Amino acid sequence: MPLDLEEQEQLDQLKAFWQKYRNLITGVATVALFAYATYSGYQWWRNSQALEASKLYETMVSAIAKGDKEQTLRAADDLQKDFARTPYAPMSSLIAARIASDAGDSAKALDYLRWAAKNASNDAYLALAKMRLVSQLIEQGTEKDFAEADQILQGKPIAGFEALWLERRGDWYLAQKKNEEAKTSYQDAWKKLDQAKEFPEEARRLLKVKLDAVGGVAQ
């Protein structure tokens, strides 16, 4: 059935439009397909990585149960190296830091904590790594350690962990015998902690002990 003049004109316009923009249209479609394929591939890779990381983490847990420090730390190192983007890597680094610290290897413990504080994508692990790193540095007690701890504490607190941030600042002051500043930080931490009902009672008791030590009052 022959086209009438109006239909023929529309067809000619469509052909002209396609001739003018076909490279752009084809390019956009190609990019969209490539993006979808990349996303699908990334999802598969991420799931595969998580599965492999979980197996290695189970190996680490078994090593801990056996009291095998070397295998435990080796598993943590492998998780850092091969599965850094999974939650298992910072989680294992925090555990390894505790084991290294208990074994008297504070330098190794600091390395694990620094790695977790830099690479953890989960806010809880990130906050825990930074707070434990600050505590370890304060315990070391050198001028360089205090400076590194101060730099961390000057950063923006992780949301939900403001009270602990202030408490560590109080610890930082107290270790340098700046009791008044420590008292102020502890009291500010207490106010924040009082608003955060999800924190365990043990955290409140510990902060209360620190407040009492510097002559502060829990308000």
Q: What is the CATH number of the domain that holds 75?
A: 1.25.40.10
Q: Domain check: are 57 and 125 in the same one?
A: yes
Q: Is residue 149 in a domain?
A: no
Residue 44 covered by a domain: no
Asked whether the beta carbons of 73 and 107 are under 8 A apart, the reply is: no
Q: What is the CATH number of the domain that holds 208?
A: 1.20.58
**pLDDT greater than 90 at residue 18:** no
Residue 34's pLDDT band, with cuts at 50, 70 and 90, is: very low
- Whether residue 26 is contained in a domain is answered as no
Is 43 a member of any domain?
no
Q: Residue 200: pLDDT band by 50, 70, 90 thresholds?
A: confident
Provide the residue range defining the domain that includes 219.
156-219
Same structural domain for residues 118 and 61?
Answer: yes
* 166 shares its domain with 210: yes
Mean pLDDT of the region 98-107: 91
Domain count for the chain: 2
Q: Which two tokens stand for residue 201?
A: 């009672």
Query: For residues 2 and 96, which has the higher predicted lDDT (pLDDT)?
Result: 96
Asked if 67 and 122 sit in the same domain, the reply is yes
Q: Mark whether 76 and 115 lie in a shared domain.
A: yes
Of the residues 99, 132, 165, the one at which a domain ends: 132
Q: What is the mean pLDDT of residues 105-119?
A: 94
In a domain, 93, yes or no: yes
Question: Do 68 and 112 sit in the same domain of this protein?
Answer: yes
Mean pLDDT, rounded, of the chain: 80
Report if residue 127 sits inside a domain. Answer: yes
| pLDDT tops 50 at residue 80 | yes
Domain ends where: 97, 116, 132? 132
Is the pLDDT reported for residue 39 higher than 50?
no
Task: Judge if 117 and 74 occupy the same domain.
Answer: yes
Looking at the predicted structure, is the pLDDT value of residue 189 above 80?
yes
User: Does the structure show a pLDDT above 50 at 96?
Assistant: yes
Residues 108 and 60 reside in one and the same domain = yes
Residue type, 169: R
For residue 213, is it within any domain? yes
In a domain, 110, yes or no: yes
What average pLDDT does the segment 78-89 reach? 88
pTM of the model: 0.74
pLDDT given at position 219:
57
Which residue, 82, 98, 132, sits at the end of a domain? Answer: 132
